[in-house]
Amino acid sequence: MNPRARRLSIRIDARAGEAVLVAPSERKLGDVIAFARTKADWMRQRLEERVKGQPLEPGEIIPLFGRDTRLVATGGAGAARLIDGPEGPVIQSGGEGEAFARRVENLIKRLARQVLVERTEHHLQTLGQRPVRVSIADTKSRWGSCSPHNRSIRYSWRVIMAPPAVADYLAAHEVAHLVHADHSPAYWSVVQRLVGDHRPFRKWLREHGAALHAVGR
């Protein structure tokens, strides 16, 4: 149940591999279940089409800053680092198995924090806003969230795997909520002031978001 929802809806959570039914009130739960039954074939097809997990293992190629990035084991226990190889970007890391994956993920999270903090500060300055507290998480359904009352913004670290312009849009999206807490036309005008036409970035996340959530699974 979501009191903020205006209508019955069904969302496919590709990461969790399940369909999420949303109703504006408990009184509508029966309606949403009946609605879901009419969409059973559609839900089954969407779940079957979801992207399979991609483990962080040596030899895998994952997206980072929108570019294919190869994972390479170096042996030993060294931390992961990003380098420019002759055939493109490479993440080199020590460790084996889970230790290798953990080092690679930690590197990606550090890069995400670095970039998202910088872009957040940039958009704050543009709007004349005071600083906020930024945190990095691994959220399931949201790429970011903003709490204007305590001036905090939380981002999914996975957005750093998208092209830089998409991550920049996400920072603008959340910073704009400090001005308007809703998604009204006034809110979107603030986003447009910060990044221009936001529709291509939103479209990119809709089309490629599931693949980003599959990394490390």
Q: What is the pLDDT of residues 76-104, one digit of tens each?
A: 889 999 999 888 999 999 999 999 999 99
In the Cβ-directed half-sphere of 9, how many Cα atoms lie within 13 Å? 12
Give the model confidence (pLDDT) of 18-46 as tens digits: 666 676 656 556 776 777 777 777 666 66
d(CA 10, CA 31): 12
Q: Write a three-state SS string for 4-15.
A: CCCCCEEEEECC
Report which of 76, 59, 71 is spatially closest to residue 108, judged by C-alpha positions: 71
d(CA 35, CA 61): 40
Whole-prediction pTM: 0.77
